[in-house]
Amino acid sequence: MTTDPIPPPAVREVPKPVELPLWRLADADLDRLVPGLDQAARLCADIATPEAEDLRYCAASARIERRRRRRDRAVADARALLASVGGGTA
């Protein structure tokens, strides 16, 4: 009587973090994307899977990028205003 060999256990691949190409998005597209990502991240807040973690990471990254763009835009506007009244260099 022959027995079939037992196959080795499957090796689970470690998923790589999902990277969103946020720098490619226009400001308006990013503003539309962030609320949906935030809502999805809230819905899976109690789920402990790599996919849920990726979703939360993407939502946080999108919020940070949107905040950075708004700050950069405000700084540029302030510099332009300051230069227009002759109070400094832009």
At 32-67, the pLDDT tens digits run 889 999 999 999 888 888 888 888 888 999 999 999
Q: How many whole angstroms separate alpha carbon 40 and alpha carbon 56?
A: 8
Question: Residue 11: left (phi > 0), alpha (psi -120 to 50), or beta?
Answer: beta
Q: Which long-range contacts (CB under 8 A, 24 or more apart) does 38-47 make?
A: 38/63
Rg (CA), the chain: 23
66 in Cβ contact with 30 (< 8 Å):
yes
pTM exceeds 0.75 for this model? no
pLDDT score of 5: 73
Considering only residues 22 and 62, tell me which one the structure prediction assigns the higher pLDDT: 62
Q: Tens digit of pLDDT for each residue in 76-88?
A: 999 999 999 986 5
